[in-house]
Amino acid sequence: MSYANVKKYELRYSDFDFKDRLKPSALLSLTQESAGASADELGFGYEVLKKRRYGFITVATYCEFRRPIRLGEVLTVETWPLPPRHVIFERDYRVTNAAGEEVAAVASRWCLVDLERFTMLLPEALGEVHARCPYRAEKTVEVESWKIPRIPNGREVYRRAVKNSDCDHYLHANNARYADFFLDCFSMEELNCDLAMFRIAYARQAKENATLVFYREDTERGSVLEAREEDGTLISQFEVVFQRGEVR
């Protein structure tokens, strides 16, 4: 039987938004937890890599919602690593409810980084654990493109400073926090529509006290957003597509 890490989550009130729908940041946190548990099982978890001054850094995540995930639901996240391609490590996730219904599908890309030199490493740097890893080629969702288009003429929406509560053990804003940052570019009225898809990409790290400037451009599909430093340096991108038709 092919490998997968399977983990059940009882969700908290704080995981949901003002319409009792699971927040994208909460879903990113769940997949992050499951990725960590899977890496621990496979022998290249955080504590193992920390001793070598290595770490996995998220490059991009793509999510499709099959339907809104509502308050009171219990979710199971199933995840596995796909065969690496050069310096890109891929990992997919299948998210189901208590009845076994698939409610979301997620794909992610990671890089293995030497934290002292901040250079990207090949899978062979993991040694024996890479050689024996039960990589699985199955995809939960086909990603049309990992590249999010730039928005040079987007309008500035707001600014915020990265603070210590935003940061993780790599001393930069945690990847899941960006989903909240980006969705704060919308009003509650605009977010009455359910999300069909979102994707997020990370270009650079934002550390404590960095000021992020958020830009938005609306498209026929939905909206594309960027977080930039004050000097214009791109930090992260986000695209969101909303469900068409009646809000559930």
* Strand 155-161 to 195-202 pairing: unpaired
**Predicted pLDDT at 118:** 87
Tell me if residue 126 falls in helix, strand or coil: helix
**pLDDT digit string (tens) for 159-203?**
999 999 999 998 999 999 999 999 999 999 999 999 999 999 999
CATH 3.10.129.10 maps onto the chain at 5-131, 155-242
The alpha carbon of 155 is separated from its chain's Cα centroid by a whole number of angstroms, namely: 24
Q: Who contacts 110 (Cβ-Cβ below 8 Å, separation ≥6)?
A: 56, 57, 58, 59, 88, 89, 90, 91
pTM of the predicted model as reported, rounded to 2 decimal places: 0.94
Of residues 244 and 96, more confidence is placed in 96
End-to-end CA distance of the chain: 38
Asked if residue 248 has pLDDT above 60, the reply is: no
Joined together, the tokens standing for residue 89 give: 């490590």
Supply the CATH classification number for the domain 5-131. Answer: 3.10.129.10
Cα–Cα distance, 117 to 5 (Å, whole number): 31
Asked if residue 244 has pLDDT above 90, the reply is: no
**pLDDT digit string (tens) for 7-49?**
999 999 999 999 999 999 999 999 999 999 999 999 999 999 9
Joined together, the tokens standing for residue 67 give: 């339907």
Say which DSSP state 12 is in. Answer: -
Q: What is the mean pLDDT of the chain?
A: 95
Joined together, the tokens standing for residue 190 give: 């605009």
**Predicted pLDDT at 236:** 98
22 — phi, psi (to 5°)?
Answer: -60, 130
List residues bridging with 20 in a β-sheet. Answer: none
**Predicted pLDDT at 1:** 59
Asked if residue 247 has pLDDT above 50, the reply is: no
Q: Which fold is adopted by the domain 155-242? A: Thiol Ester Dehydrase; Chain A (3.10.129)
Asked if residue 101 has pLDDT above 90, the reply is: yes
Q: What's the whole-number mean pLDDT along residues 221-247?
A: 89
Decide: 162 and 174 in contact? Cβ < 8 Å: no
